[in-house]
Amino acid sequence: MTISSSLNAGVAGLNVNASRLAAISDNIANSQTYGYKRMEADFHSMVISGSGGAYSAGGVRVTTQRLIDERGSLLSTANSTDLAVRGRGMLPVAKASEVEVGNGSEQMLLTTTGSFRTDSQGYLTTESGLVLMGWPANADGTMPSYPRDTSEGLEPVQINVNQLTGDPTTTMTLGLNLPATETDAGSSGDMRELSVEYFDNLGRSQTIAVEFTPVVAASGSSNSWSMVLKDSALNGAVIGEYDLVFSDSRTGGGTLASVVTNSGGTYDSQTGSIIVNVDGGPMEINIGRPGESDGIGQLSDTFAPLQISKDGSPVGNMTSVEVDANGFVHAYFDTGITRTVFQVPLVDLPNPNGMVALDHQTYVPSPESGSYFLWDAGDGPTGDIVAYALEESATDVAGELTDMIQTQRSYSSNAKVIQTVDEMLQETTNIKR
């Protein structure tokens, strides 16, 4: 009967508006929740064809959806491991309770922001118990190749804040000037010595003593020197001997003309380097290329070290950790070195809104969301990772309050329909009297 369908439509209207109010209430309640994604309620009409041309009210249905692809504004913070995704993509995390079990079967959850800090075991963890996941780097800071269509390679990001580290010296550059006058006939021929510190494989300080002895010409100038390198870690043993000849031409005066190897590694004129074997292994020493003023030169009457540089560092303590825009987790040490320890990828899916929502603003992929892929942050369709930032709630309180007013009016109108139907049924009942 038409009047009965009116009653059913009114009841359906009450139900769907109650559902919409629940979604609005949830949104307003989480207006200050970092990373919260807004719920949206959509109404759908139901059409029922009546018999004999009579119209029958079908009513209305409601569906709710969490708009995971909507992003809130980014809020600046003072914590280097407060992370937010700017653009497309999500951070992989896991429950701390699953990580503590240590069986390696953590379920990958996804989120767009988190305030991560190291816990008692060094894991980057939020107050709500979410641990950041990433790919571990090799000991030298390089990243191995990991599969991108599975979470199998991901591990909890663990920072050993009590870690000591040191880098051995493997390359150095000698930039200095030898006095041209000391190769002149009648010069004293005194040796000049330069001591250069380097760090061995155990972070200990060692030195390479570089001795320069001029070749005194019988007449004129020889423009030649012998160079001897000695390693303190080998009790002063000679690790290389070379004869250096310098140019006295108008265009290249004072630059290296040739290098003759007497012992040690062969001089490479293309790179300007020699490779000698110190106690801990091979070391590349750049002395400059022929015709270039980028290494050892010979001018005037002054012995002057101009630029001595090397890699490596002594043993140092970790002082801080930061995540860059491409997801690389860098550990900083008080010796000034930086080491890459993890890489945090960004996970992308064809339909983010199809994921299943869980507690603490986390989500898991589902058949509706499609297959996921792990991208380098800033690569492909994904955005980048912003440190010192958190994503605010996607809730617009003013908009939600406006929707609440509309919902209240709609609820009242549907209640009025039920009241009117009740009065009409009462009039029908009174006909019998």
pLDDT at residue number 268: 96
> Which two structure tokens, joined as six digits, stand for 174?
């000698």
pLDDT at residue number 13: 87
Give, as one character, the DSSP assignment of residue 221.
B
Model confidence at 164: pLDDT above 80: no
Model confidence at 57: pLDDT above 80: no
pLDDT at residue number 357: 95
Residue 46 pLDDT level (bands cut at 50, 70, 90): confident
Lowest mean pLDDT among 22-31, 121-130, 158-167, 242-251: 158-167
> Which two structure tokens, joined as six digits, stand for 126?
């939020």
pLDDT at residue number 420: 87
Query: What is the mean predicted confidence (pLDDT) over 67-71?
Result: 94
Averaged pLDDT score across all residues of the chain: 92
Q: What are the residues whose beta carbons fall under 8 Å from the beta carbon of 432, sequence distance 6 or more?
A: none
Query: What is the mean predicted confidence (pLDDT) over 392-397?
Result: 95
Beta-bridge partner residues of 305:
176
Query: What is the mean predicted confidence (pLDDT) over 69-91?
Result: 95
> Which two structure tokens, joined as six digits, stand for 41?
């309620």
Residue 60 pLDDT level (bands cut at 50, 70, 90): confident
pLDDT at residue number 385: 97
Residue 141 pLDDT level (bands cut at 50, 70, 90): confident
Residue 49 pLDDT level (bands cut at 50, 70, 90): low
Residue 109 pLDDT level (bands cut at 50, 70, 90): very high
d(CA 416, CA 122): 61
pLDDT at residue number 222: 96
pLDDT at residue number 433: 63
For 32-99, give the DSSP string: TSTT---EEEEEEE--BPPGGG--B---EEEEEEE-TT----EEE-S-TTEEEEESS-BEEEEEHHHH
- SS3 state of residue 20: helix
Closest C-alpha to 235, from 198, 278, 174, 191: 278
Model confidence at 104: pLDDT above 80: no
Residue pair 86/383 in contact (Cβ under 8 Å)? The answer is yes
Lowest mean pLDDT among 329-343, 345-359, 364-378: 329-343
Query: What is the mean predicted confidence (pLDDT) over 372-386?
Result: 95
Query: What is the mean predicted confidence (pLDDT) over 326-330?
Result: 96
Residue 182 pLDDT level (bands cut at 50, 70, 90): very high
State the Cα angle at 290 between 253 and 263, rounded to 5°: 120
Residue 312 pLDDT level (bands cut at 50, 70, 90): confident
Model confidence at 167: pLDDT above 90: no
Q: Over the stretch 238-256, which tens digit does the pLDDT of each residue have?
A: 999 999 999 999 999 999 9
pLDDT at residue number 1: 55
pLDDT at residue number 317: 82
Report the first-to-last Cα separation within the chain, whole angstroms.
22
Residue 165 pLDDT level (bands cut at 50, 70, 90): confident
Q: Which residue has the higher pLDDT, 253 or 314?
A: 253
Lowest mean pLDDT among 99-113, 158-172, 305-319, 375-389: 158-172
Do the strands 205-214 and 224-231 form a parallel or antiparallel pair, or are they unpaired?
antiparallel
Lowest mean pLDDT among 46-50, 65-69, 203-207, 331-335: 46-50
Class of residue 135 by CB neighbours under 10 A (exposed 0-12, middle 13-18, buried 19+): buried
- SS3 state of residue 296: strand
pLDDT at residue number 50: 60
Domains of the chain: 2-67+394-430 (no CATH), 74-165+316-391 (no CATH), 169-311 (2.60.98.20)
Q: Over the stretch 343-367, which tens digit does the pLDDT of each residue have?
A: 999 999 999 999 999 999 999 999 9
Model confidence at 272: pLDDT above 90: yes
Model confidence at 336: pLDDT above 90: no
d(CA 245, CA 237): 24
